[in-house]
Amino acid sequence: MKQVKIFAGSASQVLAESIAAAYGTSLGDLTVQRFADNEMGPSFNESIRGCEVFLVQSTFPPAEHLMELMLMVDAAKRASAHKVVIVMPYMGYARQDRKDKPRVSIGAKVVANIIQSVGTDRLMTVDLHAGQIQGFFDIPVDHLDGATVLAPYIKSLNLENLIFASPDVGGVVRTRAFAKKFGAEIVVCDKMRVRANEIASMQVIGDVKGMDVVFVDDMVDTAGTICKAAALVMERGARSVRAVVTHPLLSGPAHDRIRASALTELITTDTIPLAQENDKIRVISLAPLFAAAIRNVVTHESISSLFV
C-alpha cells in the first residue's frame, strides 16, 4: 500500500488538522511562500515521491484559494507523487452550474476544467450545489453527504412534530432526501428574486402550524432567504424553526441577520471556518467523514457505504 500524506491549504488548516487526526496521522509539512505582491509559491518540505497525497482546501473566496490549490497540485505532481487527490469541502463557483440567461459563463465547468488541467487524479467533496456538477469532471468524484453528520444531531433533539422545509423550489430534492431519513413530511417556500441575494416575495406551500420546522439547504450566504423563511413559518404558526446547512459562507450582514432572526439555531459544518462567533450557530465537524472516505479510497473500499 502506498504511503498516505495529508496536506492543508491556507483556507482549511483547522479542518485539515482534524481530518489528519481522525485518520491517525499528522499533517504533512507544506510552506506557501508569499511574495511582496502576494503571489504564492507552495513547496513541500518533505519527500512525497510515490505517495498518495491528499490536499485539503476549500475555495472561498474562490479565486485566491483555488489558485493556491492548483499550485499545490502542480508541485505535488512535479515532486513525483503517485496520486494527487483534492479534498475540497466547499467548491467555489458551484452555483454557476448552467446558463440561466444569455451570454453568461458556466463557472462550475470552468473550475472543473482547471482542476483537471493540472493533473488531479481524484476529487473529494461534500454537498455540491447541484449533484450534476460531478458530470463536469472526467476524473473520479467522491460526492459525500453532509447529512451523514448533520442528521444525527437533529435526531438527538427529539422534536415531537418534526417537519422539514426547503427555502426554495430548487432545494426540494435535497430536502426530501433529508426528510426521508426521518420518515417526515416536507413543505416548500416559494420565493421570487429581483436580483441575486435580494428577495421580492415569498410564500409557504404546506401547513406548518404547531410543527417544529427544520430548513435544509446546501449553503447560507447572506442569510436573507433563510431568515425571511424562518419568520414566515413562525407567522404561519410553527412551534419552532431551525436550519441545517452544509456550507456557512455567511457573507456581509449574515451573522447579524441570524442573531436577530426567528431561528432557534443554525446547524452547519466546518467546510468554511466561521469569521466570528455566533451563539445561534452550532458547528459539527466533517473531519471523521472525510477521514473515513480517505481511508476507503486508499484501501479501495466503497465510499457510498459511509452514508447509505
Could you list the active site residues? 191
Q: What residues contact residue 270 under an 8 Å CB cut-off, 6+ apart?
A: 14, 15, 18, 89, 283, 284, 285, 286, 287
User: Cβ-count burial of 283 within 10 angstroms (0-12 exposed, 13-18 middle, 19+ buried)?
Assistant: middle
User: Cβ-count burial of 183 within 10 angstroms (0-12 exposed, 13-18 middle, 19+ buried)?
Assistant: exposed
The terminus-to-terminus CA distance of the chain in angstroms comes to 27
35 to 8, 40, 64, 68, 70: CA distances (angstroms)? 20, 7, 14, 13, 17
Residue whose grid cell is 469532471: 137
How many Cα atoms occupy the beta-carbon half-sphere of 267 within 13 Å?
Answer: 21
Q: Hey, what's the cell of 7?
A: 496536506
Q: 284 by DSSP, 3-state: which?
A: strand
Yes or no: say if 5 and 16 are a contact pair by the CB < 8 Å rule: no
Name residue 86's beta-bridge partners. Answer: 55, 123
Distance from C-alpha of 13 to C-alpha of 110, rounded to nearest angstrom: 25
Q: What residues contact residue 55 under an 8 Å CB cut-off, 6+ apart?
A: 7, 8, 9, 69, 72, 73, 76, 84, 85, 86, 87
